[in-house]
Amino acid sequence: MKKMNLTIPAVMAVLLILLFVPMMGGMMENPFSMADFVWQKRQESFSAQYFDYFDTFTTFTVYADDEEQFKEYAAAFEEELKACHQKFNIYESYPGINNIKTINDNAGITPVRVDAEILDLLEFSREKYEETGGKINVAMGSVLTLWHDCREAALANPEEATIPDEYELKQAAAYTDIENMVINRQKSTVYLTDTHVKLDVGAVAKGYTAQRVSEKLQQMGVSSALISIGGNVQAIGAKADREPWRVGIQDPNTQSVLLALNLQGMALVTSGTYQRYYEIDGVRYHHIIDPDTWMPRYDYQSVTILCPDGREADALSTAVFNMTLAEGQSLVESLPDTEAFWVLADGKQVCSPGFNVYVKQ
């Protein structure tokens, strides 16, 4: 995607800090059968990092029999990561690929034949739009483009920083109706019926990709891995010693860990005001834009969602961020196996009823 100068360096801006515990517990503390012990002894932890996809920092940690098997897993991981990056890109075109940018470029002109993964992502996004009362809207690209351009200009020249003009925002908001996105599954096409409509899948693409990569790895036989795509964390199983993965939620005001969680077969995603932003006269204009006001919302410093599916976690973290606390709590509690953690604007911490079960004691 288009390169962006982040306010926090890419590596330090990763939402969640991975906390690893020793690979092998003591035999008295973690009794195993001899078969279990032999299986553990031949599993090693390997890691890889990537900087070229989704304009963010990605880490992949997996337990494998040996380095050769790890390389096989890592190659499959990067292949899927790169494919999703290109398909969901709104800034760049690629030879032989019709992606989200291709759909936007052909708005009001012609339907675009696309890969099944793009259809799946957009259909999922429409479902989340309905489920959240429009609090997440991939058809809001016209508004998000104005904010993106102002943020880029501000980071390049802070002294001249501005926010989008109110009249321009109102004009752009007139072209955010998701009904203008017409999906024809039979023909594998997507058509934007108005030339001014733009798609922006930034609120769902990384979580979708993390889930997709996770499923592919499990099909290859991976039973223990941890994926983080810009802080969109997906845990495959537990660690090889059967201990849960330890994952930290970042303090919105520092680089330290606010809470450490135990994860096993779960996804964890945080949306926060500290990720991408710029400031004017001490006011922070972050990247999470409320579909109702076309402005950043300031109820929270961060919202974290925990659930089994990375797609759900990513979409919900943005949607719940754009809800009142009561609305967000009601939605989260209505969903199975879903928990949330809010850091309010004043620093107060609130969590859903089952969230503390996952907190490392």
Which of 3-12, 22-31, 85-94, 147-156 shows the lowest per-residue confidence on average (mean pLDDT)? 22-31
Is the pLDDT at 18 greater than 90? The verdict is no
Q: pLDDT tier at 307 (50, 70, 90 boundaries)? A: very high
Q: Closest Cα to residue 61, out of 215, 233, 241?
A: 233
CATH at residue 291: 3.10.520.10
Give me the percent of the chain exceeding a pLDDT of 70.
Answer: 88
How many domains in the chain?
2
Do residues 156 and 279 share a domain?
no
Q: Which domain holds residue 122?
A: 100-192
Quote the pLDDT of residue 360. 80
Q: Give Cβ neighbours of residue 177 (< 8 Å, ≥ 6 apart).
A: 139, 197
Per residue in 249-297, pLDDT (tens digit) is: 999 988 799 999 999 999 999 999 988 899 999 999 999 999 999 999 9
Mean pLDDT of 193-208: 97
Q: pLDDT tier at 41 (50, 70, 90 boundaries)? A: very low
Quote the pLDDT of residue 42. 61
Per residue in 55-65, pLDDT (tens digit) is: 999 999 999 99
Q: Give Cβ neighbours of residue 119 (< 8 Å, ≥ 6 apart).
A: 183, 185, 188, 190
Contact 233, 263 (CB under 8 A): yes
Do residues 218 and 322 share a domain?
yes
Mean pLDDT of 306-332: 97
- Residue scoring higher pLDDT (28 or 300): 300
Quote the pLDDT of residue 27. 28
Do residues 119 and 259 share a domain?
no
Do residues 80 and 105 share a domain?
no
Quote the pLDDT of residue 131. 96
Do residues 108 and 181 share a domain?
yes
